[in-house]
Chain A
């Protein structure tokens, strides 16, 4: 059974940092593109970043480029999102998801990040 379990969310002040983790199991993690997708409270879905199998190619939505960094450790079957210079508008539930044909077939349960003073 495919499982994606996020952790690391919480309350942080504007300008602060947070590192999210996603533990993957039930599939060959090293063979999959992976993404982070977020959803602000009461709002729609927004793709944040993705990373190729080898961890070298990464892509970001414009609003987070230069502030967020996606990475992975295939030996630990884990995906990460380092978030720096956080803004109030980054408040959202962050989902880890496995890519499939340009979409995402498996999602974690999400972890809530709240940026507030």
Chain B
């Protein structure tokens, strides 16, 4: 059940900055549950990219940053690189569904 809405696709030229939005509701992001982000390269398992709204796990470049405000969150990629071409998912917890939920996913294309 995708209760977190993301744009289907975003694109940018190498070196540019792109942002991906994640819109939720009062039962997930608005209820102060943290948002996490994942990068999924084609044919690969998801990779933990941002946790706790804005924290980067060890090894994740600082080109990736996250933020959250109210019922929305966003992932920013600065200095876009060809290797960033992938699908990106936000994820949180939903109290109405009593379970974890993912965003609809966004495909990032590097022009």
Contact = CB atoms under 8 A, between A and B. Distances in A.
Interface residues of B, number: 27
Interface string B1-42: 110000000000000000000000000000001101010100
Nearest to A44: B105
B98 A59 contact: yes
A103 B45 CA distance: 14
Contacts of A109: 45
B65 interface: no
Per DSSP, chain A at the interface is strand
Contact of A45 (B46, B51, B98): B46
A62 B40 CA distance: 25
Contacts of B93: 102
B99 A95 contact: no
Contacts of B34: 101-103
A44 B38 CA distance: 12
A107 B41 CA distance: 13
Contacts of B45: 95, 107-110
A104 B48 contact: yes
Contacts of B48: 100, 103-106
Contact of B2 (A44, A61, A108): A44
Interface of A: 35, 37, 44-47, 50, 59-62, 95, 100-110
Interface of B: 1-2, 33-34, 36, 38, 40, 45-48, 51-52, 57, 89, 91-93, 97-105
